[in-house]
């Protein structure tokens, strides 16, 4: 298994869900939106 580093900058390009092959799927989009929000929340705490 290969680990990837997901950042705000590469979130849209990375494939983050092995169960869903289509990167444009609504579930993948929802997960990426949630992650983007978490990144912003973490950055605001720094």
Ranges of each domain in the chain? 21-46
**Residue pair 14/4 in contact by the 8 Å Cβ criterion:** yes
Q: Where residue 21 falls among pLDDT bands split at 50, 70, 90?
A: low
**CA neighbours closer than 13 Å in the CB half-sphere of residue 12:** 1
Q: Is the pLDDT of residue 46 over 80?
A: no
Q: What is the pLDDT of residue 19?
A: 60
pTM comes to 0.60
Angle, CA 16 vertex, CA 7 and CA 3 arms, to 5°: 70
3-class state of residue 7 by DSSP: coil
Q: Which residues contact 27 (CB under 8 A, 6 or more apart)?
A: 17, 20
């Amino acid at each position: 298994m290969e680990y990837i580093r997901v950042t705000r900058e590469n979130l849209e390009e990375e494939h983050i869900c092995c169960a869903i092959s289509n990167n444009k799927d609504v579930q993948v989009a929802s997960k990426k939106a949630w992650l983007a929000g978490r990144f912003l929340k973490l950055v605001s705490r720094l």
